[in-house]
Amino acid sequence: MKQHLEPGNLHIAESYLPAELAEGVNTLEELYDQLDEMTTVLKAAKPEEIAGKRDMIVKFGPPGREPWEFTGLSFVQEFLLVNVVFHATTAYNILRMQGVPLGKMDFIGKTGNQ
């Protein structure tokens, strides 16, 4: 079975960003490239490009179903962040199940003064 990699539903948040992000990532190298591109776009975002987006209506959903509706703020807080954590946790657990030697600190990453 072919695995399809993408950084969660971050591409849905592109309505907040000045640049479009590529869809469909199939290799780790492509995933790293897309994450680098998204980091560059986010670092370049200006406050005036984001201002007022917290109340913007965001609609999306699974194909063939009624779209979900969020404000910009509720989309980030109630869907996007939760979805990113879910997918990161799932990927971490799959890697551990396959024997990759990962521990809690690999998931948490750098903290505090590190």
Buried b (16+ CB within 10 A) or exposed e, 32-71: eebeeebeebeeeeeeeeeeebeeeebeeeeeeeeeeebe
Could you give all domains of the chain from N- to C-terminal order, each with its CATH number?
A: 10-108 (1.20.120.450)
Kindly report the pTM of this predicted structure: 0.61
What is residue 70's three-state secondary structure? strand
Q: What is the mean pLDDT of residues 104-112?
A: 83
Q: Are 41 and 21 in contact (CB under 8 A)?
A: yes
Beta bridge partners of 37: none
Q: Indicate the average pLDDT of the chain.
A: 79
Q: Which residue has the higher pLDDT, 13 or 63?
A: 63
User: Residue 108 pLDDT more than 70?
Assistant: yes
pLDDT at site 114: 62
